[in-house]
Structure 1
Amino acid sequence: MTLFKSASLISVLTLASRITGLLRELLMASTFGASALTDAFNVAFRIPNFFRRLFAEGAFSQAFVPVLAAAREKDGEASTKELVDQIATVLAWVLTFTCILGVAGAPVLVWAMASGLKQSPEGFETAVFLTRWMFPYIAFMSFVALAAGILNTWKRFAVPAATPVLLNVALIAAAGWGAPWFGSMGIEPIYAMAAGVLLGGALQLSVQIPALRRIGMLPHVGLRWSSLRTAWRHPGTRRITTLMLPALLGVSVAQISLLINTQIASHLTVGSVSWLTYADRLMEFPTAMLGVALGVVLLPQLAAARAADDADRYSGLLDWGLRLVVLLAVPSAVALLTFARPLVAVLYHYGAFTAADVQQTSLALMGYGAGLIGLIAIKVLAPGFYARQDIRTPVKIAIVVLVLTQCMNLLLVPFLAHAGLALAIGIGAMVNALWLLLGLINRGAYKPSPGWGRFGLQVVAASALLAVFLMAMTTQVNWLAFEGRALGRVGLLTLCILGAVLVYFVTLLLSGLNLRQFVRK
């Protein structure tokens, strides 16, 4: 499978994951709205996700995959299988103790994540209960990360990329069928979502097993204490542990920011955590589709250019990626800033999700939209450093930006509440991207190609017309007045989006921009 086909496959499956994720949020918004109980679920769900992103998919994956790939290249299949067995054994024992501690310490974890839930005793107790039930999800996902590292090393990309869809399907089933059934049994309906999370974790792990068995890499876990001692002494285990420490610092920055923002949001108006969650789900579409695709395609190409000492090709790849960011992220940001209310209304304004919830979620979405260009540009610029084997610089920048973001929270949150949190993240992303860009330019690694001035004016002109069109559609239509006519509202939104695409790209073509230059690369 070629690099382009692999990237295309990952992008398509990422899109499927985002669509099912959006459907899950729509159903949750319609079923539960934004309340103390939904805040409790979102906080409880973020706790295992926090540890998953920090360790399993973060530091562990970054350390495990290089060691695994080196073992396969140098030592052969048999030694690689032994390494997988030893790592799986250590992981199983560590996760067992972690889950025991997590379940026992759920009240402390909830307080550390969102002490503001104490304002609603029901919300805090519900969050503790849900955390205890959902914490084992981290065990499922840690082994999913282990399996994904193995399968990706063997160039089996489809299964790891598709598995997030299964979690979304499980949560859709939990909200659509589980919640009403729980309610009919006299059980709080939100508890069905915890069952959906565990089911989703089990499904994601189960589909990895046949794929691992086909390549002969299904791990054997040692259940005896002596097996753990042997696994811990294995050189590969020690190497991965050593590599995890610096990787953990880099991964932890984003998670610490999420932790702090959730803590602040929990002290604001009830529903704030949920409003930010719903807005973030919409933000994941452009950031995942464009950012993930560019990250997958560019990093190996940049590394190859760097290894070949081909500075022109290296700079040209960065230039191509950045122009794609400007071409697609600028109109996306304009859309989020001018068309947020219709987007949120059409997607979320059903059932328990009120007009007030639409307004508050729209404000959060606009805050995120202000930094969309930076959020996506980082996916191009950071690989520029990684390809040069410079991980420290992006980490240092991220740490400084984290401090800056929290300082902005002090200024913005008192005036803008939860929307201030989103805006601070957006501004921080812009600062991060600009800093990375200047760093690459100052090192002489990136030299902007000629024509940026004309290209920028073309994009700005097309985006200005796009903004006028979208603002007209926002003000001329009462997007909240479609009671009982959901299909009509969806159809009108579709026409508006198609019209926006035509306005933007026709304007670019009339201005003389050659779009084929982006496809040829």
Structure 2
Amino acid sequence: MKKKSTVNTIAVVISLTLIAKFIGFIRDALIGSRLGQTLQADAYNLSLEATVMTFLSIGTGISITLIPIVAGHLRDKDHINANKVVNNIINSLLVIVFGITIVGLLFSPFVLRVIAPGFEENFMLTVHLTMIMFPALIFIVLAYIFVAYLQGNEIFIVPALISFPGNFLIIFYLFFFFNDYGVYGLAIATLIIWILQFLIQVPSAVKVGYRYKFHMDFKDEVFRKFLITIIPIIFVTGIYQLNILLIDNVFSSTIGKGNVSAIRYANQIYVPTVTVIVYGITAVMFPKFNKSLVTNNVEEFTNSVATVLKSLFFLLIPMTIGLILVSMPLISMIYQRDQFDINAVISVAGVLSSYAFGMLGFGVLDVLNKGFYALKNVKTPVFTGVCILIMNFVFSYFLKSSRIGFLGIPLSTSLSLIIGSIIHLTLFAKAVGILDFKGLLNCLVKSLFAGIFMGIGVYFIRDVIQSYEFKSLFIKQISTIVICGLVGGILYLIFSVIIREENTVGVINQYKARRKKDE
């Protein structure tokens, strides 16, 4: 695809993902309003983290590992072998996954004792919900295999749409059936979501040439390489979830009721906010990273990675500052109703701000991981991932006992991601030999300056709006968010133009060139 086509594809994918995340916000707001910060909420959220959210890392690992394999066959127009590889992976993984599911169902009480040692009051409820959601692993695996197949065919729109039906199903359930079936019905609906995410992709896969045929060969060389590669990639893609599940949730469950739910509610906003940009860009660019290296064009590859990093600096820095500044009205607007009171708002807003601090680190790590995978290097991402886990454990252990208290736990995760991203960038530069450090630093500093000036303006505007009386709290909070977002965006662009930030200058030059061409 040409550069313009690539930009358009990224824009469409980000737009669809943004809409999907917005619907997801509505879903999460309804879940929060129904459950609040109760023991039921903690049980559901921990079960979700222990099953679906953990399995997502496996699904993402499958997608990342399979895309280059599928793309390689399709580049040679070899649909027969592409289907053979995919069918072997489907059948072989299903055997493995069925085994994991059975073991998970049998031993979930023992696992939950480890990851939630403070869950005595609602332990059996957590076990039951975990057992309901555990079979989702089967459909997560199938869904992500088809995501890889479609993206390997350079079809990005359908994978961006797969969450729509499931989100609508959850919303429908919460409105009409929650009072009758409660949190157990919610767990069943969560399982059904993943069945739908798999099924919605099948027609598109068939349309571009996929045909199912039973083929299973554990000794197949491609499959063996797939397994060897996917294990470290699953670990790396799951680093954030491992931090939440093994460190944040474990420490949080021991120091007070509702803390696990606060972490979950904050992540329901934070993760979609950062991933809508990061994954929207890397989903399209990862196949292109591979394409550059297949043709031995290392310079094009490193330039592409540097360009993506600069784009992330420009986009994520104002998002970080903005999210911290409007965290209170945002949490209030989404969750504050029914069981979710002002104390819960304050708690979750503090957690959200702490996680938002590490947004740029999250984005940089994801881009560089994709770069390392394109280089067929999985050892370095694993090394950095282990460093992040160790740092988070140490920081959390000491900060939770400091004056910061509970908020020291999410803050530790952010600090670990930031330090980890710096380590990763240094190792990536060493691996490729050439990287525009000066250009990256220049873009980072200018984006920070523009973001700080934007933040000062948004801070005063937010306080002015909050000082006025409104007919309802919801209108007050949404007005604060919309006005701060619009004014903040305008201020950021103005300051970016004044200090000649690279991304802004590039867009202006493209606009001038287009106008000159039209004339």
Corresponding residue for residue 201 of structure 2: 208
* Counterpart check, 1:3 vs 2:2: no
352-361 vs 104-113, greater mean Cα deviation:
104-113
**2:447–2:501 CA contact under 8 A, matched in 1:** no
- What letter corresponds to residue 367 of structure 2 in structure 1? V
* Counterpart check, 1:438 vs 2:440: no
* Counterpart check, 1:132 vs 2:131: yes
Corresponding residue for residue 265 of structure 1: 252
**2:309–2:367 CA contact under 8 A, matched in 1:** yes
239-248 vs 255-264, greater mean Cα deviation:
239-248
Give the alignment partner of residue 447 of structure 1, picking from 412, 436, 446.
Answer: 436
Corresponding residue for residue 165 of structure 1: 164
Corresponding residue for residue 500 of structure 1: 488
Distance 2:208 2:217 in 1: 22
Q: How large is the Cα RMSD of the aligned pairs?
A: 3.0
**1:106–1:132 CA contact under 8 A, matched in 2:** yes
* Counterpart check, 1:30 vs 2:33: yes
Corresponding residue for residue 24 of structure 2: 21
- What letter corresponds to residue 192 of structure 2 in structure 1? L
* Counterpart check, 1:341 vs 2:328: yes
Structure 1 residue 284: Cα displacement: 2.4
Query: Any gaps of 5 or more consecutive residues in structure 1?
Result: 183-188, 222-226
* Counterpart check, 1:146 vs 2:145: yes
* Counterpart check, 1:198 vs 2:191: yes
Structure 1 residue 146: Cα displacement: 2.0
Secondary structure at 1:268's aligned position in 2? Answer: coil
Spell out, residue by residue over 1:231-288, the C-alpha distance to the aligned partner (whole angstroms, 9 max, x if none). Answer: 4344443343333344344345444323212222222321111111121122224421
Give the alignment partner of residue 400 of structure 1, picking from 379, 387, 391.
Answer: 387
Corresponding residue for residue 185 of structure 1: none
Distance 1:410 1:401 in 2: 14
Structure 1 residue 218: Cα displacement: 4.2
- What letter corresponds to residue 262 of structure 2 in structure 1? W
TM normalised by structure 2 equals: 0.87
Distance 2:137 2:98 in 1: 10
Corresponding residue for residue 110 of structure 2: 108
- What letter corresponds to residue 173 of structure 2 in structure 1? A
Spell out, residue by residue over 1:312-371, the C-alpha distance to the aligned partner (whole angstroms, 9 max, x if none). Answer: 545543443333233222222222333321222222222221100111111111111221
Secondary structure at 1:210's aligned position in 2? Answer: helix
Structure 1 residue 480: Cα displacement: 12
Cα 1:160–1:258, aligned 2, differ >3 Å: closer, same or farther? same
Structure 1 residue 168: Cα displacement: 2.0
Secondary structure at 1:414's aligned position in 2? Answer: coil
Secondary structure at 1:497's aligned position in 2? Answer: helix
473-482 vs 389-398, greater mean Cα deviation:
473-482
Query: Any gaps of 5 or more consecutive residues in structure 2?
Result: 511-519
* Counterpart check, 1:487 vs 2:467: no
Corresponding residue for residue 472 of structure 1: 460
Corresponding residue for residue 340 of structure 2: 353
Give the alignment partner of residue 39 of structure 1, picking from 32, 38, 42.
Answer: 42
**2:92–2:218 CA contact under 8 A, matched in 1:** yes
Structure 1 residue 215: Cα displacement: 3.4
- What letter corresponds to residue 12 of structure 2 in structure 1? L
Spell out, residue by residue over 1:38-67, the C-alpha distance to the aligned partner (whole angstroms, 9 max, x if none). Answer: 110011112222552343332x33443444
**1:294–1:379 CA contact under 8 A, matched in 2:** no
Secondary structure at 2:116's aligned position in 1? Answer: helix
* Counterpart check, 1:287 vs 2:290: no
Between the two proteins, the alignment pairs up a number of residues equal to 503
Corresponding residue for residue 256 of structure 1: 242
Secondary structure at 2:437's aligned position in 1? Answer: coil
Structure 1 residue 143: Cα displacement: 1.2
Distance 2:254 2:211 in 1: 46
**2:173–2:186 CA contact under 8 A, matched in 1:** yes
Distance 1:114 1:95 in 2: 24
Cα 1:159–1:302, aligned 2, differ >3 Å: closer, same or farther? closer
- What letter corresponds to residue 180 of structure 1 in structure 2? N
Corresponding residue for residue 265 of structure 2: 278
Distance 1:27 1:480 in 2: 27
* Counterpart check, 1:423 vs 2:411: yes
Cα 1:245–1:292, aligned 2, differ >3 Å: closer, same or farther? closer
Spell out, residue by residue over 1:126-171, the C-alpha distance to the aligned partner (whole angstroms, 9 max, x if none). Answer: 1111112111111121111222222222233222221122332222
Distance 1:378 1:72 in 2: 29
159-168 vs 45-54, greater mean Cα deviation:
45-54
Structure 1 residue 407: Cα displacement: 0.6
**2:64–2:148 CA contact under 8 A, matched in 1:** no
Percentage of matched positions with identical amino acids? 18
Structure 1 residue 204: Cα displacement: 1.5
Distance 1:274 1:201 in 2: 22
Secondary structure at 2:177's aligned position in 1? Answer: helix
* Counterpart check, 1:55 vs 2:54: no
Distance 1:86 1:303 in 2: 23
Distance 2:427 2:509 in 1: 28
**2:310–2:444 CA contact under 8 A, matched in 1:** no
Cα 1:324–1:236, aligned 2, differ >3 Å: closer, same or farther? closer
Cα 1:108–1:518, aligned 2, differ >3 Å: closer, same or farther? farther
Distance 1:373 1:10 in 2: 20
Distance 2:286 2:508 in 1: 18
Structure 1 residue 193: Cα displacement: 0.9
Secondary structure at 2:367's aligned position in 1? Answer: helix
**1:115–1:263 CA contact under 8 A, matched in 2:** yes
Cα 1:74–1:476, aligned 2, differ >3 Å: closer, same or farther? closer
Structure 1 residue 308: Cα displacement: 5.7
TM normalised by structure 1 equals: 0.86
139-148 vs 64-73, greater mean Cα deviation:
64-73
Cα 1:74–1:148, aligned 2, differ >3 Å: closer, same or farther? same
Cα 1:467–1:134, aligned 2, differ >3 Å: closer, same or farther? same
Corresponding residue for residue 517 of structure 1: 506
Distance 1:193 1:6 in 2: 34
- What letter corresponds to residue 448 of structure 1 in structure 2? F
- What letter corresponds to residue 439 of structure 1 in structure 2? L
**2:289–2:371 CA contact under 8 A, matched in 1:** yes
